[in-house]
């Protein structure tokens, strides 16, 4: 298998292998599990887009759009944004032409309602196209020890320009607080404050665990050990996606 080391792709992969249809992939896991870190790597590997509802919402907040104004305080408190708002931005994004071969959903679906909505959307939009082995997503659940999650979130820094994710403990930039790629000053997310982190972890337990159960019942969930170093987690994810993209279970 070819894996991605650092930000580079290594190993011999044919163009056909890289550019084949993958279909929908959902990365599930609590805050700090590594969904954003891994999505960026998988995106490079398969050349399919990352669709992160957190990033899309934060961009609205940054631009001060009406949606951004509506959701800013909710996000800062670590609460979930209402289902219909999030489903609308996902529908809009998944209809873009770059999502036709597949996409990585990072942070969505987050509630049982969002999962049911996603299944109907995928069936309606892609069910009859025959492009993918299955219109139901491959759902990969990243499991991480609770104390490690706290350490990861409090140590996270992000580049406001290119979106690269760092960690002061495990993945520090070459120069303190400066992005290796473009020299921007790194920022700490508003919702990475300690009092908010617990609310986000609770929201995951209450509202997002049922999503894993929903896809578990459909036989679509693969669990990956997210406690391991980043490269090893990437290799496990790619293996899970490769296997799922070849199977046709749950397509009817």
Could you list the residues that contact ligand AP5 (CB under 6 A)?
Answer: 29, 31-37, 53-54, 57, 74-75, 78-81, 86, 107-108, 110, 114, 152-153, 155-156, 165-167, 170-171, 191, 200, 226, 229-230, 233
Give yes or no: 35 in active site.
yes
Closest CB to ligand AP5 among residues 133, 196:
196
Note whether 87 and 212 are within 8 A (CB): no
| Per-residue CA distances from 25 to 6, 7, 74, 160, 220 (Å) | 22, 20, 27, 26, 10
In the set 110, 152, 157, 164, the catalytic residue is 110
CB atoms within 10 A of CB 199: 15
CA angle (63 as vertex; 93, 163 as ends), nearest 5:
65
The residue nearest ligand AP5 at its CB is 54
Active site residue 189: yes
Any catalytic annotation for residue 123? Answer: no
Minimum separation from the CB atom of position 106 to ligand AP5 (A) = 6
Catalytic pick from 40, 93, 164, 200? 200
Kindly report the number of other CB atoms within 10 A of residue 112's CB atom. 16
Specify the residue, 133 or 203, whose C-beta has the smaller distance to ligand AP5: 203
What gap in Å lies between CA 216 and CA 105, rounded to an integer? 17
Residue closer to ligand AP5 (CB basis): 37 or 102? 37
Between 27 and 133, whose beta carbon lies closer to ligand AP5? 27
Q: How far is the CB of 230 from ligand AP5 (least distance, A)?
A: 4
Q: Is the peptide bond before 109 cis (omega within 30 degrees of 0)?
A: yes
Catalytic residue among 156, 157, 164, 220: 156
| CB 27 to ligand AP5: min, Å | 8
Annotated active-site residue 156? The verdict is yes
Q: Catalytic pick from 77, 123, 189, 193? A: 189
Known catalytic residue at 206: no
Nearest to 48 by CA among 117, 116, 132: 132
* Positions of E strands within the chain: 4-5, 8-9, 23-28, 50-52, 102-106, 138-143, 156-158, 165-167, 221-225
CB of 154 to ligand AP5, least distance (A): 9
To ligand AP5, the closest distance from the beta carbon of 15 in angstroms equals 28
Whether the Cβ atoms of residue 150 and residue 33 lie closer than 8 Å to each other: no
Which residues form the catalytic set?
A: 35, 110, 156, 189, 200
């Amino acid at each position: 298998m070819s894996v991605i080391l650092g930000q580079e792709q290594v190993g011999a992969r044919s163009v056909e292998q890289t550019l084949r249809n993958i279909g929908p992939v959902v990365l599930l896991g609590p805050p700090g599990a590594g969904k954003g870190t891994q999505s960026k790597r998988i995106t490079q590997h398969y050349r399919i887009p990352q669709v992160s509802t957190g990033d899309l919402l934060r961009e609205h907040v940054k631009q001060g759009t009406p949606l951004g104004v509506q959701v800013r305080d909710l996000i800062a408190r670590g609460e979930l944004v209402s289902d219909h708002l999030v489903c609308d931005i996902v529908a809009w994004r998944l209809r873009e032409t770059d999502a036709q071969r597949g996409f990585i959903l990072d942070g969505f679906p987050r509630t049982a309602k969002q999962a049911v909505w996603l299944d109907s959307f995928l069936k309606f939009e892609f069910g009859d196209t025959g492009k993918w082995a299955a219109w139901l997503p491959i759902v990969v659940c990243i499991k991480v020890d609770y104390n490690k999650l706290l350490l990861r979130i409090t140590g996270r820094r992000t580049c406001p320009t290119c979106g690269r994710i760092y960690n002061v403990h495990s993945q520090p930039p070459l120069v303190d607080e400066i992005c290796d790629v473009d020299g921007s000053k790194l920022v700490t997310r508003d919702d990475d404050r300690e009092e908010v982190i617990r609310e986000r972890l609770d929201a995951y337990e209450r509202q997002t665990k049922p999503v894993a159960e929903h896809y578990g019942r459909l036989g679509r969930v693969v669990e990956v050990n997210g406690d391991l170093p980043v490269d090893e987690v990437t290799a496990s994810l790619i293996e899970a996606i490769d296997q799922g993209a070849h199977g046709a279970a749950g397509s009817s």
